[in-house]
Amino acid sequence: MVTILVAVTILLWASGRLPEYLTALIFFAAAMMFSVAPASVIFSGFVSAAFWLVLSGYVIGLALATALGTFQLSASVLPANVPNLVMLGAVETSYGLHLSYFPYLLANLPVLGLLKGPCSGCVFFLCSVTG
């Protein structure tokens, strides 16, 4: 049953027949209805600190995009941090050490977000002028 549920979920995601959020909700509902695992196992991914850091990063990015009218800041900081957040979760689980995302964001936002936009703009401008 688990194999069929996972295969149908992957097929729905790959084909795009249903919106991604609806496919995920159907997966969780079916997993609970068919009792493929205990609820603590099915929803264990939502307990991870890395999940909540990624979610809060998207919320902060949306707030910045709304306030500043651009997705540049969130688009430059978040994708670069997903591997870091995976390692953060491993450190928390293995060593019980709790790390915070905000100091890292403050340290890297000037380089990843604020300088990346103008530098990219200069490169595009120079390429359009010379080519």
Read off the DSSP letter of residue 112: I
Task: Give 74-86 pLDDT, tens digit per residue.
Answer: 565 566 667 777 7
Q: What is the 3-state secondary structure (H, E, C) of 24-46?
A: HHHHHHHHHHCCCCCHHHHCHHH
Mean pLDDT of 3-15: 93
Give the domain ranges of the chain: 2-44, 48-130
92: confidence class by pLDDT, cuts 50, 70, 90: confident
Query: pTM score, two decimals?
Result: 0.51
Maximum alpha-carbon separation in the chain: 63
Q: What string of DSSP letters covers 9-21?
A: HHHHHHHTSS-HH
Mean pLDDT of 86-91: 78
